[in-house]
Structure 1
Amino acid sequence: MEAMIVMTIFVISYVFLLLDKINRALIAATGAALMVLFGVFSWDEALSSYVDWSTIALLFSMMVMISITQRTGVFEFIALWMIKRVSGKPVALFFWIGTLTAVGSALLDNVTTVLLLVPVLLHMIKQLNLKAFPYLVSVIISSNVGGTATMIGDPPNIMIGQAVPYFDFLDFLLHLGPVVVVIHITSMALLYLMFKSALTSYNRMEEGFIENLNPSDSLKKTPLLYQSLIILLLTIIAFTLHGFLHVELTTIAIISALLMLLISENDESSEIVFQKVEWTTLFFFVGLFVLVGGLEKAGIIDRVAYTFIDWTEGDSFTSSLVILWSAGILSGFVDNIPYVASMIPVIEEFQSFGVKPIDPLWWALALGACLGGNGSLLGASANVVVAGIASTQGEKIHFIKFMFYGLVIVLISLVISTIYITLRYFV
């Protein structure tokens, strides 16, 4: 009975999210409230056991840092510099942004990368009178593909790295990096073909616009500029080295945000900075965590996961492909974090049964969960963040419209991953 109630609430909430007529945060919060109302769990249990507050705190901290850094004009400077770099050509900018997002997502993490890059991208788009949708889709897809390459790039990889003690940063890069490069190049080529007409037909700029651009004019050369850049640079370095420093990403982000708030208090009070935080996005995340937590509490995710054992009969090759495709498809519709959490003990159980080789199952889970996040706007944290930031700038990403492009990329990515896993580990 509980499973029926949970599935009904989840499906209805998802339908309203698909229709995209009501605020996402309101839908997610209503679904979460219904879960509590029907006794699936209490508010205390929902908020303490199923909401990933580390992710919420990380997002909040990065939003604070971006809000403060934006006042220095540094994002406008980067945007204008990039415009000059590509001579204002939309196609060149499209590939430049996609590659920059992928590399940044691998070296940092995809949520941090899109938080830093999207404000810059939206400013460039306005300067060049371009259509925002192709570029925003490129950023979302590239962030999930690039984040697949390293242990810190995407939350599922972090979870897998913690579950398998003998995996380190280099292992992820060596095993996932090669296929990620192929998938990124293929994805960008496909997206270019899909958006070719939009990228080649745009409002021409005034003659001499590029030549007259002076990026340095946008910088407000106050102490806050240098202080915020130093803190931001140290934050990025700390993110990259957090495994060696033994400090969590969330802790680094919170400390950096507090430092920025302290140095900027004289320029703009903390109350004003907090008003600029994307609270709608944060509340949507909280509601989404509770909704998916209902599936987890009712045992629905676990039932799906353990069904794989019956299907594959413990065969390593078959198990790898089933995990890859199931993770890839389901992660497009259910946040990949709880799904990976439920699959980790399943793979550990395979290991206890003596299934060999076991490592391909871990790499299949990482590829499926991270790449499957491109299936919809709910598939990964980075997707929701991009959509939230874009909506505040008047560039709304429609759920079904994005899904049309995202699912094509997911299917192609899974086919490439299937070939890669088969050739590398079983042939």
Structure 2
Amino acid sequence: MLTILTLIIFILTYVVIMTEKYDRALIACIGGVAMLMAGVLTTDTAFLTYIDWNTIALLFSMMVIVTITSQTGIFEYIAIVLAKSVNGRGIPLLIAVSVLTAFGSAFLANVTIVLLLVPIILTLTSMLGLPAIPYLVAVILSANIGGTATLIGDPPNIMIGQAVEHLTFNAFLLHLAPIVFIIFLTTMGGLILLYRKKLKVSAELQQNLQSLKAEVNWNFTLVKSLSVLVITIAGFMLHTFLHLDLTTVAMAGALLLLFLTHDVYKPDEIFKEVEWGTLFFFMGLFLLVGGLEEVGIIDELARGIIFTTEGDYKTTALLILWLSGVLSGFVDNIPFVAAMIPVISEFEDYGMTNLDPLWWSLALGACLGGNGTLLGSSSNLVVAGLAAKSNHPLGFLSFMKIGLTVVIFSLIISTVYIYFRYLIYF
């Protein structure tokens, strides 16, 4: 009976989240508390076992660092300089925006980078008389693809990295960046072919762009912010040599920057800018998935996958890739990965000793699959929300036609990559 009640709470919560009628962080937390009230979880198991505070602290710390750095105006300055460097031409601007988004998403988290860039992009397209939709689509696709390349680029990767100790920042770069680069180039080629006739800019409007000035505070605060940001990313890359975990590096960077800039940016004001909704959404999801694990549903799911693939290593890895890729297109990839992490961990009990190809399959499928629909990733929802507020609504079906096509090609390329790099020897 308790198992059925747990499943009902999980499904109902998820369905309400998908309707987007209510704040998703609120609904996720309500679902988590429902697990407590139903007796599925105790307060101790909820807060000491199932909520991954390392992930929460890592996200919070990166939000603080990026919030302070963004106050200097450096991100807006980079975007406008980039637009001027291509003289406001439509296709080169699309490429520049996509490259900036992909690179930024790899090192600043994709939700953060779209929050910074979308308002700038809407301003640039309006000034140049360009349709905003192609650029918004490019931002969504590039953010999810770029975020796949590193441990901190996309929330699913953060969750996987925190769950598997030996999958370091450098490991993500080494194993995922090469295939991400190929997928990005392929996607950009497709977008250029799709939008090449729509992105024409008159010479007069190009001149208007040159008069646009980006305000950046060229002062010691900017130097402090960029220095701490670079040091923190370097710390991620060297954390195994420093014998520090990623959360410690991120927290140290955030606290250092808060201390160095407290005379300019008060900590209370910075904390107000943190995306608290995202953090509480994670906490609610951890409780929901914790409930499934507590009653044994996760174990049954693991056994079901093993039964379907008959324990074949290659089939299991590719099933996880495609299952996560397809499902992440229609449901937010964060709760899906939260549910799959304990499932893959269970495979060790069934004789699978090297789980790394399964983790890479999950990361690629979940992150790249987020391009399938507007519901597939947190960054997608952020872009859609900002676009709607600016009277540039991004249609669900119109995006899905492009997104699903990109996802299918991405998964095909990833299948070849996973097979020949990891599975051919099994």
| 1:261 lines up with 2:265 in the alignment | no
Query: Distance between the aligned counterparts of 2:390 and 2:30, measured in 1?
Result: 25
Question: What per-residue deviation string (whole Å, max 9, x for no partner) do you get for residues 212-266 of structure 1?
Answer: 2444xx1223332222222222223223333332322322222222222223322
After superposition, the CA RMSD in angstroms is 3.9
Residue-by-residue CA offset, 1:4-44 (whole Å, 9 max, x unaligned) = 22332232222222222222222222222222222221334
Q: Does residue 273 in structure 1 map to residue 270 in structure 2? A: yes
Give yes or no for the alignment of 1:372 onto 2:401.
Answer: no
Structure 2 counterpart of 1:305: 302
One-letter amino acid matched to 1:42 = T
Residue identity in the other structure for 1:412:
F
Q: What is the CA-CA distance between 1:383 and the residue it aligns to?
A: 5.5
Residues 388-422 of structure 1, C-alpha deviations (whole Å, 9 max, x = no match): 88899998878887666544433332223234444
Supply the AA of the counterpart residue of 1:250: T
- Describe the superposition over 1:359-414 as per-residue Cα deviations: whole angstroms up to 9, x where unpaired: 65454344334433444566556657767888999988788876665444333322
CA distance 1:392–1:319, shift in 2 (3 Å):
same
Q: What residue is the counterpart of 1:146 in the other structure?
A: 146
List aligned pairs for 1:19-418, cutoff 5 A: 19-106=19-106, 108=107, 111=109, 114-116=111-113, 118-129=115-126, 134-149=134-149, 159=160, 163=164, 176-191=176-191, 200=199, 206=205, 208-215=207-214, 218-332=215-329, 333=331, 335=334, 336-349=336-349, 352=351, 360-361=357-358, 363-375=360-372, 405-418=402-415
The answer as to whether partners of 2:65 and 2:257 remain within 8 angstroms in 1 is yes
Q: Distance in 2 between matches of 1:207 and 1:150?
A: 36
* TM-score, normalised by the number of residues in structure 2: 0.80
Say if 1:78 and 1:120, in contact at 8 Å, map to a contact too: no
User: How many Å separate the matches in 2 of 1:353 and 1:276?
Assistant: 44
Deviation at 1:172, TM superposition (A): 5.5
The CA deviation at 1:104 is 4.5
Question: In structure 1, how many angstroms separate the alpha carbons of the residues matched to 2:42 and 2:398?
Answer: 36
Aligned residues of 1:32 and 1:290 also touching (Cα < 8 A):
yes
Mapped contact 1:7–1:295 kept (Cα < 8 A) = yes
Distance across 2 between alignment mates of 1:395 and 1:289: 34
Q: How far is the alpha carbon of 1:119 from its aligned partner?
A: 0.8
> Which 10-residue stretch deviates more, 357-366 or 244-253?
357-366
- TM-superposition CA deviations, 1:275-330 (whole Å, max 9, x none): 22222222222223222333333333332222122122233332332232223334
1:17 maps to which residue? 17
Larger CA deviation: 288-297 vs 389-398: 389-398
Aligned-pair CA distance for 1:96: 2.3
Cα distance in 2 between the residues matched to 1:12 and 1:225: 46
2:169, 2:236 within 8 Å by CA — same for their partners in 1?
no
* SS in structure 1 of the partner of residue 210 of structure 2: coil
Deviation at 1:85, TM superposition (A): 1.8
Judged with a 3 Å threshold, the aligned counterparts in structure 2 of structure 1 residues 279 and 318 are, in CA distance, closer, same or farther, namely: closer
Aligned length: 417
Measured in 1, the distance between the counterparts of 2:14 and 2:394 equals 16
Q: Which moved more, 1:298-307 or 1:175-184?
A: 175-184
Say which SS state the counterpart of residue 47 (structure 1) adopts: helix
Which deviations, in whole Å up to 9, do the C-alpha atoms of 1:70-110 show, x marking residues without a partner?
3322223212211212222343233223233334455x3x6
State the one-letter code of the partner of 2:61. Answer: S
Distance in 1 separating the partners of 2:411 and 2:33: 36
Contact 1:125 1:131 in 2 (8 A): no
The amino acid across from 1:222 in the alignment is N
Mark the runs of 5 or more structure 1 residues left unpaired by the alignment: none
Q: Structure 2: state its 5+ residue gaps.
A: none
Moved more, 271-280 or 293-302: 293-302
Which amino acid in structure 2 is aligned with residue 247 of structure 1? L
**Contact 1:61–1:253 under 8 Å retained in 2:** yes
- How far apart in 2 are the matches of 1:137 and 1:47? 38
What amino acid is aligned across from residue 212 of structure 1 in structure 2? S
Would the alpha carbon gap of residues 328 and 398 (structure 1) be closer, same or farther in structure 2, given more than 3 Å must change? same
CA distance in 2, matches of 1:170, 1:256: 18
CA contact (8 A) 2:18 2:375 kept: no
Give me the whole-angstrom Cα distance separating, in 2, the residues matched to 1:201 and 1:34.
54
Contact kept, 8 Å, 2:302 with 2:347, in 1: the verdict is: no
Q: Which amino acid aligns with 2:199?
A: T
Q: SS state of the match for residue 6, structure 2?
A: helix
Q: Which moved more, 1:136-145 or 1:151-160?
A: 151-160
In the aligned structure 2, how far is the partner of 1:392 from the partner of 1:421? 40
Contact map agreement 2:161 2:168 (CA 8 A) in 1: no
Q: Matched residues, percent identical?
A: 44
